[in-house]
Amino acid sequence: MSGISSKDTGVFQDAVYSHYKKEGRVFPWRNDTRPWGVLVSEFMLQQTQTARVVQYWTEWMKEWPTVKLFHKAAMEDALRAWNGLGYNRRCYHLKGCARRITNEYDGEIPDKPGDLEQLPGIGPYTARAVPCFAYNIPTVFIETNIRAAVLHFFFKDETGVKDKEIIPVLEACLDRTNPRRWYYALMDYGAALKKLTPNPNRRSAHYTRQSPFKGSFRQLRGAVLRALAQGHAGEEELQERSGIENIVDLYQVIEVLEKEHLVAESRGIYRIRGENEPE
C-alpha cells in the first residue's frame, strides 16, 4: 500500500463511527474509566474474550476498587479471584504493577507509555492503550480487532501485511479529539467484521493459530496454581486437588513454576510464593 488519502481516512472513519452508533458494545470498563479499572481490564482482556471478562472485572473492582487495596491483598486471594480466566501469570504481573504503582506513583496510574512499559507484564500495546482509555490521550496501538479493521479496509488484496505497515494508517485515521471513543468504535468494527467475513487477520504477517487448551501444559499449569490457591499442600494432596493423574506431569509443572518463582517448596510442602518473598 502506498500512501493514504484524506478521502480514504474520512470514508473509513465514517464507516467505523456509523457502525459504532448502531452496534457499539457496552462493557463496564467503558462506563467506568477510572485508570485502575482500565488497567485491570487490559490485563484481563489479554488473550481472553470480552464476554468472559465482564463478570471477573465487576467482582474484582468490588473487592479491590483501588490499586492500593489490591497491593495489600494476599497473592492467594488474588489467584482465587482470577481462577477461571487462565494465563495466571497475568495475575502475578498485575500484583507487581500494584506494588510498583503504590510505592513509586502513590497509587496513581502513570499516563506515559514509557513509564507504563517499565511495569511488570506491560508491553507496547497496554502501555499505549491505558493512557488512551484511562486519560483520553491520543496514542497509536494495535490489537487483533484493530488489525482486522485496517486490513479489511486498506489491504483488501494483500497478504503478509506487517504491523509496521498498519501503524501509519492508524496515525492518519486517529481521532485526536476523542481517541477513547475512536478506539472503542474501531475495536467494535473489527470484532464485527470477523463474524461477517473470513478473518482478515489471516492476511497478517503476525497471524498464528492458538493451540488447543484442553490437555495442554497450560491447562496443567493452571490446575496446579488453582490447587495451591486453596492453601499449602504436600505432593499427594496437590495431585488430588489438581486432578493431574500422571505424577511425571505434576513434577514437570512444579519444576517450571518454581523456576518462574511462582511456587515455593519447603520440606515437601508447596505454596504460592509471596509477592515480596526473596527468590
Q: How far apart are alpha carbons 274 and 262 in whole angstroms?
A: 8
Mean pLDDT of the region 26-44: 97
24-34 pLDDT, tens digit each? 999 999 999 99
**1: pLDDT strictly greater than 60:** no
CATH architecture entry for 217-272: Orthogonal Bundle (1.10)
Q: How far apart are alpha carbons 59 and 72 in whole angstroms?
A: 17
Of 219 and 162, which is predicted with more confidence?
162
Of 188 and 263, which is predicted with more confidence?
188
Reference 15, options 192, 254, 171, 206; nearest CA is 192
Mean pLDDT of the region 217-222: 84
CATH of domain 1-210: 1.10.340.30
102-146 pLDDT, tens digit each? 999 999 999 999 999 999 999 999 999 999 999 999 999 999 999
How many C-beta atoms surround the C-beta of residue 176 within 10 A? 8
Under a CB-based contact definition with an 8 Å cutoff, are residues 264 and 225 in contact?
Answer: no
Check if 42 is active-site.
yes
Domain ranges in the chain? Answer: 1-210, 217-272
Q: In which band, very low, low, confident or very high, does the pLDDT at 158 lie, cut at 50, 70 and 90?
A: confident
Q: In which band, very low, low, confident or very high, does the pLDDT at 261 lie, cut at 50, 70 and 90?
A: confident
Catalytic residue among 23, 42, 143, 240: 42
